[in-house]
Amino acid sequence: MNDIGKLVKSLSFIEEFVETTTTLATERNVQNLLSKVLLSARNFTNCDAGRIYVLDVTKRMLQLRITQWETGEPNNEWYQVRDFGQVGAQATNDPLLFCGMTGSVVLIDDVYSYNGFDLEYIYHHDQENNARTQSLILVPLKDHDKQTIGVLELINAKDAYNRRYVSFKSLEPIICAFAAQAAVCINNALLIETNNHLIELLNDTNQRLEEENRLLKERGSRRQDYNIIGQSDSMLKVFGLMEKAMDTGVSILLTGETGTGKEVFARAIHENSVRKNNQFVTQNCAALPEQLLESELFGYKKGAFTGATNEKKGLFELANGGSIFLDEIGDMPINLQSKILRVLQEGEVRPLGATTPVKVDVRVIAATHCNLSDKISQGQFREDLYFRLNVFPIALPALRDRGADVKLLLDHFVARYKKQYDKRITGISPAALDVLLKYHFPGNVRELQNAVERAVLLCEHEGAVLIEHLPDAMQAQVKGKVSMAGKTGGTLITQQVADPRFSSLKNAVNAYEISVIEQHLQANNWNQTRTAETLQIPRRTLIDKMSRYNIKTPERKKRRSL
């Protein structure tokens, strides 16, 4: 080639180089950019093929991102990702790892006669794609901090005029200069891609958080709609189970002692579910004889029996699209249980005297205080019905297992009955409160509610609820302990006689105050904050009194004894 030809080629290359780098600088899509970089490098080096490898975000894995071959797109499924965490012989024998890790150029003029690096990946490619690799050059792609972000591989350089294979040696400076410019563009595009991905993740996370916040608010507002008071761990567990089953059609079995509020929970489930706009009907299965209960549940046709002068829809039909609450399901007659099972299995009922069934869509919520497993073993309850009802069991905790919920319920019921009976009372005296907090409550919330209603009715106007206003069962636990009671300003003061500690009024008052504080501490599991709230005094005051009276927590007593 004469000097003029070389000059023209140089000018043409410079023009193409400037145009290419300008174009690359404006491309933001990483894959499009890589395609343009590889195509440009192939054009000005006049080579058959090329590949670009890029490090992942961890800067550990070298991944093949794009391949171009003059004869068409090759099969790349065979390619194995390079792990920069590898050390030893494999790292030094693999030309890709060597180039990426050391930042050195690898140039091979005759691949099939070369005996340096392990070129197995080249041989594999050629075999898979019926190709022939003659020569190659690997150039590191480095960002502005001189950190390797990938590798540019060019294959089979040819002379522009006679199309013969030539060495990449004379083109190495040009390729390295181009790789340096391309690497900056690629790095910027990768950063933009990563930032966009992070922004998308952040937006997705924000949307999920907003959705979760909305759901939590809905659940919080739902819980307010439950009309159920409770903040103990056992009650929060029940609320969580209710949320899970709320909007499903699954059968629910509520279990728990008498008075735990099973109907209240059943109604809350219905009224906060997707069925809330339809009927919620209830039936106590122990309240009616078998024949009458059957007609109530399934209805009857006119003339089905003596006295059936009109047709009557059963509760299942009335609750169609809504919910039915079957209380005390454990006491349902065994013969009637099979018909309840058919409703659960087939979704249909057959009224008495009818020849065809009626389809119904009803959510069944059953409840019992019995141990159904014992009834099954005694032959009093169908096992198949039990499994149909017990799809989603919810065990309601006894009041004695609900901790501080007792105080919340007391405040709620006192406020309700003060308003209902127009009574102005100061609250519950410490002694009466102590009795209520220690009482076992075999009748649970119902017993507590009835006790508070009775106490408010018996309480003097402008006075406080005293021990004598409580039911006899509750008073029985303090009988024999109190020998004298006086009422002063609505507060009950007790004094034990024949005790030398009470030789003076001051000692008696101090002994009573110590007793009340210790009882309240024990009732609140020695939690000083809750104890101060129940005593209606500042926490600082409680701590001062505990220090003055030398009242020790169990842990401090134990350490002192050791």
Same domain, 517 and 439: no
d(CA 92, CA 95): 7
Same domain, 185 and 275: no
Same domain, 367 and 418: no
Residue 265 lies in a domain: yes
Residue 504 lies in a domain: yes
The CATH number assigned to the domain holding 476 equals 1.10.8.60
Q: Write down the pLDDT at residue 479.
A: 60
Phi, psi of 486 (to 5 degrees): -130, 150
Residue 187 near residue 145, CB atoms below 8 Å: no
If one counts the domains in the chain, the total is: 4
Residue with tokens 């003061």: 493
Residue 440 near residue 400, CB atoms below 8 Å: yes
Q: Which domain holds residue 501?
A: 495-562
pLDDT tens for the 562 residues of the chain, in order: 455 544 445 555 566 666 666 667 777 788 888 988 899 888 888 899 999 999 988 888 889 999 998 877 777 777 888 887 765 656 678 899 899 888 899 999 999 998 888 898 899 888 888 888 999 999 999 988 888 999 999 999 988 776 788 889 988 998 998 898 888 888 888 888 888 888 888 888 888 888 777 766 665 555 545 678 888 889 989 998 998 888 888 999 999 999 999 999 999 999 888 898 999 999 999 888 888 898 999 988 887 777 777 888 999 999 999 999 999 999 999 989 989 998 998 889 988 888 888 999 999 999 999 999 999 999 999 999 999 999 999 999 999 999 889 999 999 999 999 999 998 888 888 888 888 988 889 999 999 999 999 999 998 888 888 888 999 888 887 664 543 333 333 334 444 434 444 456 667 777 778 888 887 887 777 888 888 888 888 888 888 888 888 888 776 555 544 4
Residue 176 lies in a domain: yes
d(CA 523, CA 532): 12
Same domain, 385 and 419: no
d(CA 142, CA 533): 67
Question: How many C-beta neighbours within 10 Å does residue 97 have?
Answer: 20
Q: How far is CA 480 from CA 4, 24, 306, 495, 507, in A?
A: 125, 96, 62, 12, 21
Same domain, 328 and 454: no
Q: Write down the pLDDT at residue 418.
A: 92
Residue 201 lies in a domain: no
Q: Write down the pLDDT at residue 488.
A: 35
Same domain, 274 and 379: yes
Residue 268 near residue 310, CB atoms below 8 Å: no
SS3 assignment for 523-545: HCCCCHHHHHHHHCCCHHHHHHH
Q: What is the dihedral of CA 125, 129, 135, 140, to 10 degrees?
A: -50
d(CA 498, CA 3): 129
Same domain, 368 and 472: no
Same domain, 406 and 392: no
Angle of the 444-458 helix axis to the 430-438 helix axis, nearest 10: 160
Q: Write down the pLDDT at residue 486.
A: 38
Residue 220 lies in a domain: no
State pTM to two decimals. 0.51
Residue 217 lies in a domain: no
SS3 assignment for 432-484: HHHHHHHCCCCCHHHHHHHHHHHHHHHCCCCCEECHHHCCHHHHCCCCCCCCC
Q: If phi over 0 gives left and psi between -120 and 50 gives alpha, with beta otherwise, what is residue 379?
A: left
Q: Write down the pLDDT at residue 85.
A: 74
Residue 292 lies in a domain: yes
d(CA 260, CA 29): 64
Same domain, 393 and 413: no
Angle of the 30-45 helix axis to the 3-26 helix axis, nearest 10: 180
d(CA 484, CA 453): 26
- Strand 392-395: give its sheet, edge to edge: 280-284, 323-327, 363-368, 252-255, 392-395
Residue 42 CA, chain-centre distance (Å), reads 53
Could you tell me which of 479, 406, 547, 313 has the C-alpha nearest to residue 468?
A: 479
Same domain, 354 and 447: no
CB neighbour list of residue 103: distance below 8 Å, 6 or more residues apart: 140, 142, 146, 148
Do the bridges between strand 252-255 and strand 491-494 make them parallel or antiparallel, or are there none, so unpaired? Answer: unpaired
Same domain, 479 and 500: no
- DSSP 8-state code for residue 277: T
> Which of 432, 461, 483 finishes a domain?
483
> Which of 483, 516, 540 finishes a domain?
483
Same domain, 60 and 127: yes
Residue 210 lies in a domain: no
Residue 257 near residue 248, CB atoms below 8 Å: no
The CATH number assigned to the domain holding 299 equals 3.40.50.300
Q: Write down the pLDDT at residue 383.
A: 93
